[in-house]
Amino acid sequence: FNDTYQSDNIDENQKIIAGVINRYQNEYSHLREVLSRGMQPIDIEEAKKIAEFILKTIEQNDKQQYKALVESIGK
């Protein structure tokens, strides 16, 4: 398994962003091990920034997929 952020084809800033996304995903995907973590409020601003980054990346890298996503949610 080779994560995109480990690739030499992306710049250092993208690697940092990918690390933040990975950390955020791991934080909320392992709630079985530490149930109290799931009781803490989610950082909405961080989630919003991550979602915007992901959507922008999809739009830049796969316009057809982005268009299908937008159409699927009725935008």
Measured torsion, CA atoms of residues 20, 53, 12, 21, in degrees rounded to the nearest 10: 20
Contact 21, 40 (CB under 8 A): no
Q: What whole-number distance in Å separates Cα of residue 36 and Cα of residue 4? A: 31
pLDDT interval class at 1 (50, 70, 90): very low
Contact 52, 17 (CB under 8 A): no
Q: pTM of the full predicted structure? A: 0.60
The predicted pLDDT at position 3 comes to 54
Per residue in 16-70, pLDDT (tens digit) is: 777 888 887 777 776 666 666 666 666 778 888 888 888 998 999 899 999 999 9
